[in-house]
Amino acid sequence: MRKIYKRILMLLVATLFAQNLAANEQVELKEHFLNKINEVILIVEDKKLSKNDRNGNIVKSLTPMFDFELMAKLSLGDAWKELTKENKERFLKLYVERMKQSYSAKIDAYKDEKVEVKKMEQPQPNRIVFVTDLISKEEKLEIVYKFHKPKEKINAKDSWLVYDVEILGVSILKTDKAQFKEFLQTKSITELMDVLAKQS
């Protein structure tokens, strides 16, 4: 009987500890995330820099937080698994380049706005979701950041990495996935890469 109590007690302690740990992880990540955002806002507001420099700095600052490689793979879905090694490398490069360009430009358009994390979730031990509001004078824009923690830390990257962003419920990754899927129905991966190359 005692043994059982002891076991339950241990289990409870363990869970509590784990939850605590998880909560700590979330708080830490939130702090890191907000710091990053502030860093980016500072860059955006720095009118001394040229637009190109600004974008370059934004990319530099955000890149460690994003898992572009994973996004590239997921965006292709099952088609990724079919690619040759060379194509995989070329696609990754092109996708990452496109991401950086496209989103640095988008972020640059934001002015006088604040980011507030209004909800944090951890659906799996290695996934964290931040529901944030981008608050401007007139209204709020809901943006969801999805993080994952790779088994092994990737060089020059944070330990938690963003793998998808949802703006007002529209997932960037899913958008790309839908685009690529349809494109690949009628055309080849080489053609897709050519288009991506043209875009960047």
Partner 1 sequence: MLKNLYQNHLLKYPKTVLAVMAVFVLIMTVFAFKLEIDASAETLLLEDDKDLEYSRDVIKRFEAPNFLVVTYSIEDDLLSEKNIKNIKMLGSQIQKIEIVESINSIINVPLLQSPPQPIKELVKNIPTLQTPNIDKELVKKEFLNSALYKQNLVSDDFKTTAILVNLKRDEKYFSLINERDNYIKLKKERVLTKDEKSSYEKTSLELKKHRDILRERNHFSITEIREILQDFESTHKGIKLHLGGVDMIADDMIEFVKYDLRIFGSIMLLLLIAIIYLLLRDVKWVAIALLICTVSMVITSGVLGILGLEVTVVSSNFISLQLIINMSLILHLIVKYRELQEKHPEETQENLVLNTVSLMALPSFYVVITTVAGFSSLVFSGILPVINFGWMMSLGSVISLFITFIIFPLSLIFLKNEKPNSSLVEKASFISKVARVVDNYRKTILFVTIFVALFSITGAMKLRVENSFIDYFKQDTYIYKGMALIDQKLGGTTPLDVVLTFKEQSDEVETIKVAQDEDNAELDSFSDEFEEKEGDKEQYWFTQNKMQKIKEVHDYLDSLEAIGKVLSLSTTGEILKVLNGGKEADGLTLALMYKELPIEYKKIIITPYIDIKNNQARISTRIIDSLPKLQRDELIKKINSDLKKIVNPKYEEYKVTNILIMYNNMLQSLFNSQIKTIGAVVLILFLMFLALFRSFKIATVGMIANVIPVGVVFGFMGWMDIPLDMMTTTIAAIGLGIAVDNTIHYIYRYKIDYKESGDAVGAMYSSHKSIGTAMFYTSTIIIVGFSILVLSSFLPTIYFGLLTAMVMFAAVVGDLLLLPVLLLIFGV
CA separation for the pair 122, 38 (Å, rounded)? 24
Choice between 78 and 86, CB closer to partner 1: 78
Choice between 15 and 113, CB closer to partner 1: 113
Choice between 31 and 182, CB closer to partner 1: 182
CA separation for the pair 162, 79 (Å, rounded)? 22
Which residues neighbour 61 within 8 Å (Cβ) at sequence distance 6 or greater?
Answer: 36, 39, 40, 43
For the CB of residue 176, give the shortest distance to partner 1 in the complex, in Å.
8
For the CB of residue 26, give the shortest distance to partner 1 in the complex, in Å.
19
The site for partner 1 (CB under 8 A) is made up of 70, 73-74, 77-82, 102, 109, 138-139, 141, 151, 163-164, 167-179, 182-186
Closest CA to 112 of 90, 138, 74: 138
CB 200 within 8 A of CB 101: yes
Choice between 7 and 174, CB closer to partner 1: 174
Choice between 53 and 182, CB closer to partner 1: 182
CA separation for the pair 195, 138 (Å, rounded)? 37
For the CB of residue 8, give the shortest distance to partner 1 in the complex, in Å.
32
Matching residue, tokens 């420099």: 53
Q: What DSSP string describes 33-81?
A: HHHHHHHHHHHHH-TTS-HHHHHHHHHHHHGGGB-HHHHHHHHHGGGGG
For the CB of residue 179, give the shortest distance to partner 1 in the complex, in Å.
5
For the CB of residue 11, give the shortest distance to partner 1 in the complex, in Å.
27
